[in-house]
Structure formats: structure tokens, C-alpha cells
Structure 1
């Protein structure tokens, strides 16, 4: 322990250096196993940080250079079911010339830790490790057993990370009833004294679709009415221009109602698009959860400039609200039109979990102890996380990576963005909140 540190007065200041060190390990996940780098090195770094204070860890390699680390901390109350805390070690690519700092240097300046993964999600990993190291130094033991998982491959679906572990080593998570990971617990300032910390209680489904148009092949110089490329282009343009209707899920209803109370107004009667605009950067996160989406992301057709091909295809990145799967397929079929077929490339399930649960109450209390102006609300995430994998083992999944952010920081833009960074003070705050949360269960 540090000279001023006790079990009741933890010192988490090392979290900044831990985050910086981890960012400096380039663990870029391109999605191509031949070009993935750094995941094994990041896993070994986690092992070194934990074993040097006395933990026993388990490292599992799903493939060459793909590794995840598990550490189990036994609780004092065997009657309580274990909890899973999970974070991923991989990051998306970064183009260094676009950044004002080296994205893989872990630079600390201007009150921030900069670099790829600073908010997605090496900040949370560093906070988890800081809490674990404090527990060992101070001789702290939680009442509830906690399984910590530091995972590979989240940024490309988890087939070499969370899903691989669930399929091949489910015994590591035996008894875990709940899982906590990304993305939630970051602050949105309503006013100077009031902050909302949204807790992720659901995820839209990830649904990648391939659509294919067929026609009659022929010479490019001829008048040709049955052109597959034209049919495809028309269908893609129709889907891209379509605005799917707003779906009032239980989560959205609770969020809008709760935020309205904090703002002193009835937001349920406000046009949701107006509300999203008023929320600024936070609105980007909420706005993507109001409706189903289908964004064209790829086109493929033809093999020679003067040959009209018999088929043309496109890929769509679709994100579907819980309970909307059948309705979404009906909507897509209407938009595709004749001679265009569809097939799923990837299609997982959407998640939606209750908000009024003891574990959320514990999150709320931990935040309130560190920020008297904090309030929690549920929200549905537009993207996907490793929660999808752990839900297959029957766990109820939440996103809670607590950060108290400056009011003017566009946090949403930092995910996979240029000059990704996390405030130093937010890392210290988050470590304190996580420690309180885990010791209160």
C-alpha cells in the first residue's frame, strides 16, 4: 500500500499510469487474423500486473496471438452467486496521421490520457486492475465472488474471445448470474448540479445482411431494361432514404420520463428528434436507439466495363430493437422490391433487461456516494458488446463503466474516433465508484 492508503481510504492514482501503459500496447483488431496484433501482449501485461501483487490468473489462447485472461476473487459469502466483470483488450485501427498525438503512445497531457482504446475500453480495464491491485494490497475481500475477464476480439464479434470462452470454457463462469461490462455509467450534465449516468440495460441486435439483385447479363453497349446493377442501386437508395418509425420500448419510456423529471418538463410530449438535438453529443447515443436502422456499407457488381452482370450485391449493417425482429424483416422486404433477395451474414439477438434491480441500485448508490448530483437512468445501446455472449449462459447483462465527464466533452464522438481520450480525473472517479459498487454487493 502507499503510505496514506488504508482499506477505508484507497489510493487509485496508479490507474492513470495503468491506462497509459495498456494504450501503449498496440492491440489493433483488424478482423483479419493475419494482421491482428498485440492481443497476446496485452493479455500478458494484465497477467504481470495482477500476479505481481499475488493473484493467480488463467490465460487461455483461442488461436495464435489471441488470448484472454481470467481471475477469480472468492467472496466471503458463499451463498451469494458470483458476478462477472468483463472488459476487452483489443481496439479498432487508428490512422496515426489523423491524430494530434501518437494513438499508441498512451500520452498523458492536458488532464487526459490519449490514445486508441482510451474510452473503448482500456479505461475500464485499467480501473478494474486498479481495484484488484488495491484489494490485494489492502487485504480486502468482497462478500460476493467476482470473476474478472479480460478478453480478446470484442471488436470483431468475440469469436476468439467471449464467444469462444462461452463455447469452450463455460465452467469458468459457473454460477455467475449477472455480468457487467461496457458501455454505461458515463455522465451527462443536465445542469451544474445534476448529472445523469445512463446504465446500459439492453442492446440492439447486430444483423449484417447481404442483398442480391438478379437480371439478364448482356453487352454494355445495348439498351438493357433487366439490369441487376440498376435494381440493386434502386433498392439500396430506397433503404438508405427510409426512416424507420420510432419504437417506444420500456427502456426508452423510462429514460425519457426520468430525464423529463430531472429537467422539470414532460419530455414524453416532445418530438423525440427535438429532444435528441437538445441533448447534443449525448443525443447521438440515444438517437441511434430510437428506431431500427439499416445502413448500406458495401457494394459488389460486375467484372468488366462493357459487360452487364447477371447479379449485383450489397451489404447492410442492420441494428434491430428488442422485440422488433419480425417487423424489421417485413419492413426490409417491402423496401427491397422485386428480383432482390436477402440473406443474413451475421444475426445475433437483441437484449433488454430490467432496470429496477438490486445490482442497479448498488450502481446508483456507488455513484451517489462519489457524486451527490448523480442520477441513473436505463438506456438501450445501438451497438453490441460481449454481453451477447455471456447472456447465452443465462446472465443478466449491464453496461457500467463509470466516468464523471466534463460537460463540454463530446463523449460519443470519441468511440472509434480521432483523438480518443479519457479525463484523468474520470479514471480516478471511476475506480472509486467501481470499488464501492463491488464491495457493496
Structure 2
């Protein structure tokens, strides 16, 4: 059977209303970071319906990952990965008021989009992948080689005490221990507008506290002005920003950069005794995170600050690295990445471009910690993620379902679904 023949069969077999209903059902399950378990159990049920062997396990107390597997003939193992948590919905109803989109969990259809928290980031990708397998089955086929799904919590930041990739770390432990089969290639379903991302940025966040000494405004000579010291540090940081902008850029993700994101300093009719600022540093693939941190700290001329000023730096966003998230890249001519591009372009000739992620997600856990080449691919636009405008284009979503079905078939090979797969025993 040729790819073109299979493409035609998939197009004929797709039940668009069922695919849309799956996504709406997923959006109805609130799963803000810290509350992922309900959605993990929803996915367990959907994957069980497709005949996969499933499992769930707590990665932290009361918070579950879910995985599923269809074991096939010896050969390649494809893993599809995504995070189950979303960012919060505070302010969403107030933003939309009487508009039909005021319920972030309703999956409202409007102007050719489905609106709701997680529609783009990234329940659309999860549902497209699951619906892709369902479509392949509806066409009369099943993967010949092993297919694994792994859906993990704690990817998003923003909720106190969460967002450190605890779910991804647990998945790595399970693969390393042999509890989940090591994949040969992985697709992480972050939104890419149906392009194929073979590279992603890295990052670290730094929070700097500047301490001086407060004093009454009429006797400022008794104080040490933390605001003036903060101004000096900002000038040094912005010089470091200029140096980074002048350094070599990566052709898929651009140059490295640094951005001050928060500034706080002041006193009540008094010399400011303490200041604080936050910043985020973007790394291009090929940069070392330890070296980037060292270069940042070296750019701060602490010796030039006024006597009596002290600073401390905290790095609160450790992911696969204690101080942040590593940049990563696989070869852009990776055969599986090119195969996925070819599958996407069967349905959307203008899509499937090899590109780079302007965001950080958990691909380094796959590439660096378990040695599995990985890419990002899914419907949805990262530009509307985390906003009140979060939505997904319905036609892109349905095209992604077909693309996943075709890619699974071509990567894993296919057999008649009447030939029962082998199941792993736990």
C-alpha cells in the first residue's frame, strides 16, 4: 500500500465530529498545575478504549502520570509525550464577561476555533495524537511495531511549589528502570502550528536581591541607597544584553538574549534599603548553561557598587539542570523528523517546516537523559498559550489527527487490526 493510498483511506475514515468531541471533553477536565490527576485518569480511559495497556503512577503525592503501550514486533518504539497540566484561569471569566467564551473549560466553537484553557497548550496535541491512533484503527490498521504514549504533569510554571518538571523526571526514572520501554524516537506535542521543531532554546531565571541600609530622608547620609546600586546593576545587565545580541545567532531560534522582567525598590519617605529584580536569559543550542550562568555573574561588577551594598542571586527555575533548562537540538535532517514533515505535507503542503521552538519544554529529558531523539509537533499556536485568547484552529487540529495517523503508520508499519498485538506484562 502506497502512502498516497493510505492517505486517502485516512481521509475517508476520519470522523471529525468525534475528534472535536474528544478535544472538548479533554478541555472540560480542569488540570491546572498541581491538579493533573483527573486529566491523567481521563486519558487512561481514552487509551484503554483503544486497546492499549495503560498504567498510572504518582510522580508526587496525589499527582499522577499516565502512560500506555501497544507492543508490536521487535523494532522501533515510537513515543508520543505531552504534559497534562495547564496554567491557571484566574481572570478568564472577568475578561470575557457575557461572551460565550467566558467558560475556560467549555471548549466553545467560535470563528473556526475551539476556545479554552489548554486548547493550544497542549491538550490539542494530546488529543490529536490519540485521535490519530483511533483514526488508524478506524481505517482497519494497527501499528506493527511498538507505540507508547506518556503524559506527564508539572511542566507549567506559575503555581507555588510546582513547575519543576517532576513528572518528566519520574518518566526518566521509569524508562531507566525498564518499567517503560525506552523509545527510539519521540514526538512531544507542544504547539508548533503543524511545523516540526528540531531545536529549542534553553533558559535560566535569576532573582537578585540588593541590600543597603534605609535611613530617614532628611538624613540620607546615614543610609546606603539600594536603588542607586540597583541602577548600576541594571546598566551592567543591559551591557551584557548588548554583548549577547552581538554574538552569533542560531538560524532556527535566533540569538541569545537577556531580559529584565521585574524590578522593585523603594522606601517610605526614606532611603531605599532593599531592591530586587528578576531576569530571564535565553540560550541558543550549543551554549552551555553553566558557562552562561558564569558569564552572567561575571558581567556584574559587584566591586564597583557602593560600600555597604550586598547582593545575592537565586536561580529558582531548575528543570533538567539545577539552574534552568538546557537548550537542545537534533540533526535537522534526522530521518524521522523528515518523515513526519512528509506526512504533514500530505495534508498541509505549506506546513511541516523544519524550525525551532522559541520556548522551553521538556525535550532535553528525552534527548539528553535517555538518549532518545525528539522533536516538537502539534497543532496550535504558542503565541496564544497562557492568555485569555487561547484557542486552536479546528481545521489544523483535524489535519494533525490525520498527520499523526499517517506518521504512526509509516514509522511503526501497519498490520490488520484483527491481528491482536502482544501485551507487556507488568
TM range (shorter): 0.7 to 0.9
In structure 1, what is the equivalent of residue 361 of structure 2? 385
Choose the corresponding residue for 1:73, options 53, 67, 70. Answer: 70
> Which whole-Å CA distance do the structure 2 matches of 1:169 and 1:303 have between them?
53
Pairwise CA distance, 1:230: 2.3
Pair 1:103 & 2:104 matched = yes
In structure 2, what is the equivalent of residue 294 of structure 1? 258
Query: Which runs of no fewer than 5 residues in structure 2 stay unpaired?
Result: 1-7, 158-162, 306-310, 319-323, 412-426
> Which whole-Å CA distance do the structure 2 matches of 1:240 and 1:92 have between them?
30
Pair 1:167 & 2:173 matched = yes
Choose the corresponding residue for 2:21, options 17, 35, 42. Answer: 17
Question: Secondary structure at the residue paired with 1:440?
Answer: helix
In structure 2, what is the equivalent of residue 87 of structure 1? 82
Pair 1:153 & 2:118 matched = no
In structure 2, what is the equivalent of residue 190 of structure 1? none
> Which whole-Å CA distance do the structure 2 matches of 1:399 and 1:246 have between them?
28
In structure 2, what is the equivalent of residue 201 of structure 1? 198
Cα 1:46/1:183, change in 2 over 3 Å: closer
Pairwise CA distance, 1:53: 3.8
Is residue 325–residue 360 contact of structure 2 (8 Å, CA) maintained in 1?
no
Cα 1:135/1:64, change in 2 over 3 Å: farther
Cα 1:231/1:168, change in 2 over 3 Å: farther
> Which whole-Å CA distance do the structure 1 matches of 2:43 and 2:164 have between them?
19
Is residue 362–residue 437 contact of structure 1 (8 Å, CA) maintained in 2?
yes
Cα 1:106/1:297, change in 2 over 3 Å: same
In structure 2, what is the equivalent of residue 272 of structure 1? none
Is residue 224–residue 271 contact of structure 2 (8 Å, CA) maintained in 1?
no
In structure 2, what is the equivalent of residue 180 of structure 1? 187
> Which whole-Å CA distance do the structure 1 matches of 2:351 and 2:116 have between them?
28
Pairwise CA distance, 1:202: 1.8
> Which whole-Å CA distance do the structure 2 matches of 1:130 and 1:437 have between them?
13
In structure 1, what is the equivalent of residue 276 of structure 2? 313
Cα deviation code 1:30-51 (max 9, x no counterpart): xxxxxx33x1111111112222
Pairwise CA distance, 1:301: 5.7
Pairwise CA distance, 1:105: 1.1
Question: Secondary structure at the residue paired with 1:297?
Answer: strand
Is residue 12–residue 432 contact of structure 1 (8 Å, CA) maintained in 2?
no
Cα deviation code 1:275-319 (max 9, x no counterpart): xxxxxxxxxxxxxx322232233446678764653x533222222
Is residue 174–residue 180 contact of structure 2 (8 Å, CA) maintained in 1?
no
Is residue 188–residue 376 contact of structure 2 (8 Å, CA) maintained in 1?
yes
> Which whole-Å CA distance do the structure 1 matches of 2:236 and 2:28 have between them?
44
Is residue 261–residue 277 contact of structure 2 (8 Å, CA) maintained in 1?
yes
> Which whole-Å CA distance do the structure 2 matches of 1:231 and 1:47 have between them?
54
Pair 1:348 & 2:325 matched = yes
Cα 1:234/1:90, change in 2 over 3 Å: same
Choose the corresponding residue for 1:365, options 310, 324, 342. Answer: 342
Pair 1:144 & 2:145 matched = yes
1:249-328 paired onto structure 2 within 5 Å: 249=249, 252=251, 289-299=253-263, 306=270, 308-309=272-273, 311-325=274-288, 326=291
Taking only aligned residues, the RMSD between alpha carbons, in angstroms, comes to: 2.9
Cα deviation code 1:320-345 (max 9, x no counterpart): 12233435742563256534554433
> Which whole-Å CA distance do the structure 1 matches of 2:260 and 2:299 have between them?
16
Question: Secondary structure at the residue paired with 1:57?
Answer: strand
Pairwise CA distance, 1:353: 1.4
Question: Secondary structure at the residue paired with 1:360?
Answer: helix
Is residue 47–residue 57 contact of structure 1 (8 Å, CA) maintained in 2?
yes
Cα 1:429/1:163, change in 2 over 3 Å: same
> Which whole-Å CA distance do the structure 2 matches of 1:185 and 1:110 have between them?
21
TM-score (ref. length: structure 1): 0.75
Pairwise CA distance, 1:88: 1.4
Q: Give the aligned length.
A: 373
Pairwise CA distance, 1:424: 1.4
> Which whole-Å CA distance do the structure 1 matches of 2:62 and 2:238 have between them?
38
Cα 1:129/1:327, change in 2 over 3 Å: closer
Is residue 184–residue 372 contact of structure 2 (8 Å, CA) maintained in 1?
yes
